Structure 1
Amino acid sequence: MDFYFGGTEMNVAASLSYFGEHTQQVTNVSNDLVGDAAIAQMRQYGIDTSAISKVDHPLGLYFLEVGSGMRASKIAYNRLHGSFANISPKQVNWDEILADAGYLHWTGISPAISASAYETLKIGLEKAKAKGLRITADPAYRSNLWQYGKDGHEVLKELVSLSTIFVGGVNEINEILKTDYGFSKEGFVEASKALIKECPSIEKVFDKVRTGLSASWQKVYGRAWTGAEYLETQELEITDVVDRIGTGDAYAAGLIYGLIHFEDQKALEFANAACALKHTILGDVNQVSPEEVEEVMAGSTGGRIKR
């Protein structure tokens, strides 16, 4: 068995740290050597860990059986009673955490874990919105994680309504709005317009489109609706996938970095190239520099040795 420390928002923070951005993680870890090792790993990535609490609950786990070719990967979760599930609003000083922040990123994994995680996140989003931060929402609906009585679709719609940038596509919009838009360009644009109408705080929608020829052979491209125009990138092909875990987080991190430094089209291209590169890296985190991402954007996909 190989093990890695990961988690959706942490993966994004770690990738942004590799890009040179200041990041901070808000979470709980176990009050034992495993939690200590998790914090040490985050520090190694360059993440500010000052908002992390240690609690007397085990670190959450998931188990991945890696697929190959026509055999799909499989995941089993063991997170319901873990340390993060026991986070509470009184632990988190959102005013202090958000004081100098420009972005707050969240995914649908967090509010799915427990009622207290949902409540803690909601307070953070409300405070971030009041402060005028850009809030990136990756709804990432996982039906088998919602086990504490809340309707996941309703919760995600509520939290997306507190956000400004939606990282997702037609499938995620259909789940939240309970609609059935198609996956064509026109369907994506109409779905994006419907989301913005239902959740007016959303300004832009950025989607990652994946074509899986097999577990080992993937294609990805990005598309976006900016509220005024449709954008799209070229498709990138990964013929020898090393690890698919964290590729969506790599896309989100690339997008946030891109939105900080570039206009929308280049931000979308940066996100897609970052996503493609993560397929070639073992573990949950996209350990690449902005320069490496921009090389792929410029067409350097041959993988020649650099000497």
Structure 2
Amino acid sequence: MGKVLSFGELLLRICPDEGGQWLQENNLPFYVGGAEANVATALALWNVPSAYITALPDNFISEQLVGYLKGRKVETDAIVYQGDRVGLYYLPKGKDLKNTGVIYDRAGSAYADLKPGTIDWNKAFEGVSWFHFSAICPAINQNVADVCEEALKAAKERNIFISLDLNYRAKLWKYGKDPVEVMPALANYCDLIMGNIWAANKMLGIKLNEELIADGEKESLLQHAQLTSEEITKKFPNCSIVANTFRFDHKEGIRYYTTLYKDSELTVSQEYVAEKILDKVGSGDCFMAGLIYGFHNKLSPSDTLAFATAAAFKKLFIPSDATSTTVAEVQETISNYAN
């Protein structure tokens, strides 16, 4: 197989503590972020040929950020240089990106200013066999949504496998369209769609069965995952694989399990439970990267799901956007938590 190309906005996460101690100490942690960049760095760490495309201003900050990616064995040759800003977001330690506490500062960034015709997709897709993007990209504005469709058409013309993560960020969809008005047209091109039953409803118009989700029981949710997966593959005939994640905060800590639907069969992962975690950001990206790793290495659906789920669970204990867990450490986690 060829390279995996991930497309999205490279961000800086600014991470103040909730008590305001950073003001006293003049110390404010930064992390390199962006859902698709997290996928790209995880794949490179796991020895999958990985490339990343975004738009950045031509300045020393970008030079250092690109150096960070190169240092992690991510190919950056197709990055577009334009504009003046790198996108930022602010999130207190331990909080979730779906939480109302997230503050985005991305308007007018180099990536937000992308327009169709800007990226040379012939160059970007050289040697690429898999293209990955997320629903965060078309959430930025209509122009970026149009660039996504441009990329998907170019990828499909080259028979490149396409994966989509249905990341829903309510604070980003601010240009007059609901996700369900934009995402189905993009999902039409995709071979693998990952998310959860609620995101599939919000972004693709897939029905929610309120009776099944009312009690939150695992068996009911797994039944819903089957129904959602079946409906996605019927509604979007290009899609042959659907993955769903389930992560819940509860009094004992975190419960986490996942499903993978392929060839009309639903595979269910090991369930992971933890009393305390460090960082919720990037766990879903790590799961997506784990799926790509499994299929790239021609693992079975059950082994692919086991790897992706364990990798995502491990990410919950790493205080940054991207994982640093090796393949060996993921495999050790699978063994340690085996039923």
Paired letter, 1:85: A
Report deviation, 1:18.
Answer: 0.3
Please say which of residues 186-195 and 269-278 is displaced more in the overlay: 186-195
RMSD: 1.9
Please say which of residues 220-229 and 253-262 is displaced more in the overlay: 220-229
Conservation of the 8 A alpha-carbon contact between 2:116 and 2:147? yes
Conservation of the 8 A alpha-carbon contact between 2:48 and 2:296? no
Report deviation, 1:7.
Answer: 0.3
Alignment of 1:45-194 (within 5 A): 45-67=72-94, 74-175=101-202, 176-177=204-205, 179-181=207-209, 182-183=212-213, 184-194=221-231
Conservation of the 8 A alpha-carbon contact between 1:29 and 1:38? no
**Distance in 2 (alpha carbons) for counterparts of 1:199 and 1:39:** 35
Conservation of the 8 A alpha-carbon contact between 2:40 and 2:50? yes
Alignment of 1:232-243 (within 5 A): 232-243=268-279
The DSSP-based 3-state class of the residue aligned with 1:105 is strand
**Distance in 2 (alpha carbons) for counterparts of 1:116 and 1:31:** 21
Q: Say if 2:334 is the partner of 1:297.
A: yes
2:68 match: 41
The DSSP-based 3-state class of the residue aligned with 2:138 is helix
1:266 match: 303
Please say which of residues 153-162 and 14-23 is displaced more in the overlay: 153-162
Paired letter, 1:63: Y
Report deviation, 1:178.
Answer: 5.2
Structure 1 unaligned regions, length at least 5: 302-307
Paired letter, 1:60: G
1:221 match: 257
- Provide closer, same or farther for how the CA distance between residues 73 and 241 of structure 1 changes in structure 2, counting only shifts above 3 A: farther
Normalising by the residue count of structure 1, what TM-score does the alignment of the two structures yield? Answer: 0.91
Cα deviation, 1:204-241, whole Å, max 9, x if unaligned, reads 11111112126x93221111221411110111123331
Structure 2 unaligned regions, length at least 5: 1-27, 214-220
- Aligned sequence identity (%): 26
Report deviation, 1:67.
Answer: 4.1
Count of matched residue pairs: 297
1:32 match: 59
**Distance in 2 (alpha carbons) for counterparts of 1:153 and 1:15:** 29
- Provide closer, same or farther for how the CA distance between residues 22 and 217 of structure 1 changes in structure 2, counting only shifts above 3 A: same
1:305 match: none
Superposition misfits of 4+ residues, deviation over 6 angstroms: none
Paired letter, 1:292: E
